[in-house]
Structure 1
Amino acid sequence: MEHEEDNGRGEEDRFDEGALKFGFKVGLKDFLGVDGTFLKGRYPRQVLTDVGLDSNNGIYPVAYAVVEAETTSSWTWFMELLGEDLELGANSNFTFISDRQKGIIPTVAKKQWKGKELSGLVWECGRATTLNHFKYAMDELKKMNDEAHVWLCKIPAETWSKSHFNGRAYTDCLLNNLCEVFNAKIEEGRDKPIITFLEYIREYLMKILCVVQKEIDKCQGELSTTATIILEEIKTQAEKYVAKYNGAGKYQVASTWQDQYVVNLNERSCTCRFWEITCFPCRHVVSAIWNKIENGEDAPDVEDWVHPCYKLSTWRAMYLNKIDLINGRSMWPKSDCPFTLTPPKNHTQVGRPKKKRRRGVDEPNSQTTKLTRKFLAVTCSKCHNKGYNSRTCKGQGGIGEVGSKGKTQGKGKTHARGKTQGKGKGNLGNSVK
């Protein structure tokens, strides 16, 4: 834990568990998601989080900090200390992902660029792994909406499209959902006092290490559970391809629908770039490996071509260290600090305190217990017809109702203008003085 104040950023406290820090280093994935969320208690603060991915593509929290506000200075302080703990130099090949994806879809919505087809084209541009596929998808987007195409071109493609990724992150993750998952797990503790909140996070991290360790003990094989599932699916797709060897360590792999790529096993590359981005051998590579084995050449199994970050041994090493336990407050030693640490200033927020997470424009409101009334037809409580309510009902007819003018409805009441609405019974005409 580190505490700082009077440094132009207000009060800040940073925490990292040594077990998670050491586990992240042996995970071999230089990839982190960064995000911030707010506290709900009496003293409003922001929680900055760094979350990575383990060998099973599960969330792996690395560090978190409680700051007074989510500003550039607080993020700079947080990331500098993170770099010192992870021993990152100026030339480190590290990849960070943030909530930039939340800025694309809302902007499209605000500019009235709506439609599933347009959204699908944007995602196709992001999922494209080659430059040719990326350019084709961008051309299709331009044909549909030139204004949206111009706006999207202003964003560097290196930050959101797989076709421009360099492959050093060992993942093709496009969303920052790993931080959203962690923020959702600690939501119940965000309205508690600061020490109770920090204890809530520590106990959650202790629990997740034990739960994942039990899953690791059940696993058999060379790869993690998720990596095994992904590779088996790739093998199924590779059965539809035919590889042809050119004698120089390269293979031409093609399918019946003109899907043809070049594989170089010596350089561990494929022109589809899936292997380069994810470090998983693609279906073209698997087909080439099978062809090499069928021809009697010495080649490792398909599992041996997967990057070590997805190995079961790496997954086990990440969860080998455990978080130390802490005694209760009555067992805490008294501090010899010469000054008293006072509580932070209480900032009274304007309006009702917010309890729910700020949701993006494109996020569905799936956490509510009430059903939405959108697109539901209104039913009249008098005549039971749809399309209007009882206030605008004109007696169109229905069960137990008489819709014709001049007929009584109840005790002496009629709907016709100028007719009596007294207590007498009968079909009276105009009132007689």
Structure 2
Amino acid sequence: MKKGFKACLRDFLGLDGAHMKGPYPGQILTAVGLDSNNGIYPLAYAIVEIENCESWKWFLECLGDDLDLHAMSNFSFVSDRQKGLLQAVSQLFPCAEPRFCLRHIHENMKKQWRTKEYKDHLWDCATATTVPEFNHFMHQFSLYDKSTYEWLKSIPPQHWAKSHFTGRATTDMLLNNLCEVFNGKLVDGRDKPIISCLEFIREYMMKRTCNVLKVQQKCVGPLTPTATKIMEKNEAAATQYIAEWCGDEKYQVKGPWNDQHVVDMHERIMVSVYKSSILMSTRCTGYKLGKLHMGTRWNQIKGRALWPRSECPMQITPPPHRNQPGRPKRKRRQSMEEKSQSKSQSQSQRSDVGPSEIHGHGPHGSGKLTRKFVSVTCSKCGNKGHNSRTCKGQGGT
């Protein structure tokens, strides 16, 4: 399992502990990774007497030796904040990124605030992808309930909010379902003696590996089934975005909801839907404009929603609005030279046509029909010179 993990898996692990159910007390500590199909990858397990900082420290030391993790490794661990776990991680891996399971944060929140609205606000804040969007949802949460907002604010957002993750683990997982699923498979073995329990876990992992190999043999295409679904979803959403090449490997991507992002293909900043839009644009249009014939390039900017707030103490008010008299003009004002040119052109056009043709068109050669020199017949009385609206009952002969 460690050879497979070091070969192709992400630097992301879920850590959890579960109680033994039989007459033999103890705790089962587990470490579960995430495979390329977003499924669980059981990596390591051990039975200890009690769950504390010392037991977790011993477990992580053995795990670090197996995976060649040194003290400055940039790993990401997601957990339920078990007893002594965070302290052990900070001592052994000070550069690691600890994440907290959002479901357990919600469970702690439900002790005081139980309604569904609190859960919705929590998930809006956690799933926000940018810091301005996160601040917006946190502000909405504070307007809904100030006390809950202060309680949630006490938890550092880099541990539970997607917008504050470093991105080193290349996954935005917010839950510790990896270990929860694995622990659920071990329920029938946790009431057995220690040796029998360890044998039960080993057989389960052996069977699971064989089942995954069978699924791989049936898989069609270069991607896993889950990755294929994600790619198809991103391609469908990317059709609504427009990618503009800005030089080098940078693109400016505009969305249908006035969202705008800068994508760096070399640094792989802002991927998923925006990157899919760029790939589709380059594939369909053959986009490579070459070098720009200019000394400098324009800097790309993000959309309005991502602009930072100004720290200016003065509040700038908009200028007073005053409606102009008359109907709003749609055409721009012409200069005197343009007016003289258009007048001379209309006169030359009128000189080329006869008087009957002039009478049938509007002034200045506009081509519009006019009623000048046309006699109107009333539909009521039949006399000429007026219409039915101004008719006063004149009788005809």
TM value normalised by structure 1: 0.60
> How many residues in Structure 1 have an aligned counterpart in Structure 2?
269
Identity of aligned pairs, percent?
Answer: 49
- 1:332-367 CA-to-partner distances (Å, cap 9, x unmatched) read xxxxxxxxxxxxxxxxxxxxxxxxxxxxxxxxxxxx
Instruction: Look up the match of 1:266.
Output: 266
1:62 matched to 2:36? The reply is no
Aligned to 1:178, what secondary structure does the other structure show? helix
Paired with 1:41 and 1:32, the residues of 2 have a C-alpha distance of 28
Could you list the runs of 5+ residues in structure 2 that have no partner in the other structure?
81-99, 290-397
The structural deviation recorded for 1:297 is 4.1
Paired with 1:47 and 1:36, the residues of 2 have a C-alpha distance of 5
Aligned to 1:110, what secondary structure does the other structure show? coil
Paired with 1:127 and 1:257, the residues of 2 have a C-alpha distance of 18
Paired with 2:219 and 2:130, the residues of 1 have a C-alpha distance of 35
Query: Does 1 or 2 have the higher relative contact order (CA < 8 Å, sep 6+)?
Result: 1
Instruction: Look up the match of 2:111.
Output: 110
Paired with 1:103 and 1:246, the residues of 2 have a C-alpha distance of 44
The structural deviation recorded for 1:224 is 1.3
Paired with 1:129 and 1:188, the residues of 2 have a C-alpha distance of 40
Alignment of 1:114-129 (within 5 A): 114-129=114-129
Distance 1:189 1:255, change over 3 A: same
Alignment of 1:103-182 (within 5 A): 103-111=104-112, 113-182=113-182
Write the letter of the residue equivalent to 2:110.
A
Contact 2:14–2:78 at 8 Å: present in 1 too? yes
Write the letter of the residue equivalent to 1:223.
L
Write the letter of the residue equivalent to 1:245.
W
The structural deviation recorded for 1:116 is 1.4
Paired with 1:40 and 1:259, the residues of 2 have a C-alpha distance of 52
1:288 aligned to 278, 290, 296, which one? 278
The structural deviation recorded for 1:133 is 0.6
Distance 1:138 1:200, change over 3 A: same
Instruction: Look up the match of 2:29.
Output: 48
Paired with 2:267 and 2:285, the residues of 1 have a C-alpha distance of 20
Paired with 1:298 and 1:243, the residues of 2 have a C-alpha distance of 12
Distance 1:45 1:266, change over 3 A: closer
Greater share of helix residues, 1 or 2?
2
The structural deviation recorded for 1:27 is 2.2
- 1:186-219 CA-to-partner distances (Å, cap 9, x unmatched) read 1111111222111111111110010000111111
Instruction: Look up the match of 1:320.
Output: none
Distance 1:187 1:298, change over 3 A: farther
The structural deviation recorded for 1:296 is 2.1
Paired with 1:167 and 1:255, the residues of 2 have a C-alpha distance of 23
Paired with 1:195 and 1:115, the residues of 2 have a C-alpha distance of 45
Distance 1:247 1:71, change over 3 A: closer
Could you list the runs of 5+ residues in structure 1 that have no partner in the other structure?
1-19, 276-281, 300-433
Paired with 1:40 and 1:122, the residues of 2 have a C-alpha distance of 34
Alignment of 1:165-204 (within 5 A): 165-204=165-204
Write the letter of the residue equivalent to 1:137.
F
RMSD, aligned α-carbons:
1.7
Write the letter of the residue equivalent to 2:109.
V
- 1:278-316 CA-to-partner distances (Å, cap 9, x unmatched) read xxxx212111222223332479xxxxxxxxxxxxxxxxx
Q: Which consecutive segments of 4 or more residues in structure 1 shift more than 6 A? A: none
Instruction: Look up the match of 1:216.
Output: 216
Paired with 1:202 and 1:248, the residues of 2 have a C-alpha distance of 51
Distance 1:194 1:148, change over 3 A: same
Instruction: Look up the match of 1:404.
Output: none
Rg comparison, structure with higher value: 2
Paired with 1:245 and 1:48, the residues of 2 have a C-alpha distance of 50
Aligned to 1:50, what secondary structure does the other structure show? strand
Instruction: Look up the match of 1:36.
Output: 17
Paired with 1:238 and 1:69, the residues of 2 have a C-alpha distance of 50
Paired with 1:202 and 1:255, the residues of 2 have a C-alpha distance of 49
Contact 2:9–2:34 at 8 Å: present in 1 too? no
